[in-house]
Chains A and B, each alone.
Chain A
């Protein structure tokens, strides 16, 4: 699975959009981009994933560049409860016995009042 690079930390003002970047320059054609977050002492929470097209759900939007070498997770109106570690992970679709989700160091997002 391709490796990802994320900034170690970011700040965002409450109510503003939080834009979290991720570089995955070695991504393969069949690998998805996944985003998870982990609030202190809780289990990671799935946010969103995508392959080529931009995706949006009730939590966030995922913007993937045309060459798929980078992506941005957007939290449109950040709240204090969005303070967490955000993980960007790329992996191939699960296929039988080869399921692995490997976490990198992630970005610690601090939302400030």
Chain B
């Protein structure tokens, strides 16, 4: 299995809702990442997990809460989002060491209403 699977593919949520995005990989990668991408902009790094521990938080607001329950799964919990948080949320994984590339999922298209 050489894929990163993200669910759901599309999500519409109200500003008072709580929802979660899910990311799964079975490549044995021990580094996982969340990126946010606004329309016509490059992906922006949000969080990095290494060996299931949060290693980088790029000053992301607390209404985004990441979780890595095991080496194959990465979640992004969403609460009290704003309309400007509407974006494509991308998950990626990689080896922890070495000059290897990242494998990206196809993303979750989030709309906050």
How many pairs of A and B residues are in contact by the CB < 8 Å rule? 75
We find that the number of chain A residues with CB closer than 8 angstroms to chain B is 28
Nearest CB of B to A5, in Å: 14
Whether the Cβ atoms of A43 and B107 lie closer than 8 Å is yes
Question: 3 closest A-B pairs (Cβ-Cβ)?
Answer: A43-B104, A103-B42, A46-B101
We find that the number of chain B residues with CB closer than 8 angstroms to chain A is 30
User: Provided the pairs A49-B101, A51-B99, A94-B31 are in contact, do residues A43 and B50 lie with their beta carbons within 8 angstroms?
Assistant: no
Q: Which of B13-21, B67-75, B78-86, B88-96 contacts A (4 or more CB under 8 A)?
A: B88-96
Query: Which B residues form the contact surface with A (CB < 8 A)?
Result: 4, 31, 33, 42-45, 48, 50, 53, 55-56, 88, 90, 92, 94-107, 109
Residues of chain B contacted by A102 (CB below 8 angstroms): 45
Residues of chain B contacted by A96 (CB below 8 angstroms): 50, 96-97
Whether the Cβ atoms of A32 and B99 lie closer than 8 Å is yes
Whether the Cβ atoms of A100 and B45 lie closer than 8 Å is yes
